[in-house]
Amino acid sequence: MRLFKIYVISVLLLGCTHKNNKTNTMPPVTIEKKQFGITKEGQNVDQYLLKNKSGMQISIITYGGIITSWTAADKNGDYKDIVLGYNTLEEYETETPYFGALIGRYGNRIAKGRFSLNDTTYTLAVNNGLNHLHGGLKGFDKVIWEAESMTSDTEASLVLKYLSKDMEEGYPGNLATTVTYTLNDNDELRVKYEASTDKTTIVNLTQHSYFNLTADFNKTVLDHELTINADAFIPVDETLIPLGDLSEVSQTPFDFRASKRIGQQIDEENTQLINGLGYDHCWALNDQDKGMRFAASAYEPVSGRLLEVFTDEPGIQFYSGNFLDGSLPSKSGGVYEQRTGFCLETQHYPDSPNQEDFPSVVLHPNEKYESQTTFKLSVK
C-alpha cells in the first residue's frame, strides 16, 4: 500500500510539472498592427510589429515599406534597436536618406537620368546631382504599400504590394511588385522581391536599412569589422557613376575578403574614397552562378552582435554613411552624425541599363522578376 501511495504522488507531481512547462512555453511568432500616422495627402499609414519567440522585434510601416526599428540581442541577451530611423511619419515625409526603405523601381544611380530600351530613350528625374537615384522624386520609398500579414508556428510574414503604373517616374510598363518580409525563430529576416510587367522595363529592387550594431546612434560604425565576399568592386567617377569596368580589390582599401575595421583605411588618399567621401560603392560578389550564398557580414566586438547577409543578387552596395552630417534628428535623441550607420544593399550594379557588360536589369512581359536576401543576426 505504501508503494502504491508513493507511485500515485509521483504521477501527480509529474503531471503538475508537465502542466507548468506547458504554461511557460514561449508564445508563437506574432504580428501586431496599429496606425502609425496619416500622410500629408491624408492617406493612412499602418505599422506592423513582427515578433519571434527569442525576442527579436521588427517594425515595418506601409509608407515606403520602411523598417523603422529592429531589435537584436547582444552578448548579454539584451535586445536593442540597431537601425537608424525616425519616430514619426512626418519626419520620414520631410527629409530622409532612405532610412530603412524599399527602393525601386531602380536601386542606385542611372547616369544623367536616361536609358534606352528597344530604340526608345526614357528620361527619368535627375535627383542626385547630374543623375537619377533610387527610383526618382517619388520612388517606392515614398508610396503606400498594400499589406497582408500571416503567421505560422515559426515564421511571421508581411506581404507588401504596389502597382507602379506605366511611365510613373518615367519608367515604362505597369509593374506589379510584391515584397515579402519574413521573420523566423533563428533571428533571420528574409526579404523576397517579385515583379511582373506588361511592357519591357528595367527593375532593380533593394532594401536600404542603416545599421549600427552598437545600438548607440551617437557612436560611429568605424569599429565594426566588415567582410565582403568579393574579389572585385566597381570604380566610379566623381558623380558616383560606374566607369564601366571592374577592379580587383587586392592591395586596395576595398579589400574586405578578410574581416577588417570599416575605419581601418577609410581616410586613405585614394581617388575612389575621395569620390564617395568614403565607401559608397558596389562590390561584384563572388560565385554569382550559385544563387543564394554568403555576401557580407558585420561584427561589433563590444556588443558581440554579428550581422550576416545572404543573397542571390550579383552585387552589394556598401555605404558607410558618409553623407550623414548632423542635420537629421535621431530617434534616440541628438542627431545622426557622419558614419553613424552603414548600409549593405543587395542589388544589380549601378547604371546597368547604360552598361552593356553588366548583368541585365531588363524585365520583359511574361517574365517574372525574383530576388531574395536574408539578414541573419547572432552573437559571437
Q: Which residues are catalytic?
A: 208, 345
217, three cell numbers: 546612434
- Give the count of alpha carbons within 13 A of 4, CB side only: 1
151, three cell numbers: 503567421
Residue 316: closest CA among 247, 228, 241: 228
Which pairs from 124-131 meet CB under 8 Å and 24+ separation?
Answer: 124/169, 124/170, 124/171, 125/169, 125/170, 128/240, 129/239, 130/239, 131/239, 131/240, 131/241
Which residue's entry shows cell 517606392? 140
Q: What is the DSSP string of 69-121?
A: EEEEE-TTS-EEE-B---SSHHHHHH--S-TTEEE-SB-SEEGGGEEEETTEE
Please tell me the distance from the alpha carbon of residue 186 to that of residue 191, in angstroms, as a whole number.
15
Q: What is the DSSP string of 263-326?
A: TSSTTSS-HHHHHHTS-EEEEEES-GGG-SEEEEEEE-TTT-EEEEEEESSSEEEEE--TT--S
Measure the N-to-C terminal CA separation of the chain; round to a whole number of Å.
56
- Give the count of alpha carbons within 13 A of 332, CB side only: 15
Please tell me the distance from the alpha carbon of residue 378 to that of residue 371, in angstroms, as a whole number.
24
Strand partners, 115: 122
User: Are 106 and 96 a contacting pair, CB within 8 Å?
Assistant: no
Peptide bond into 257 cis (omega under 30): no
Please tell me the distance from the alpha carbon of residue 371 to that of residue 192, in angstroms, as a whole number.
6
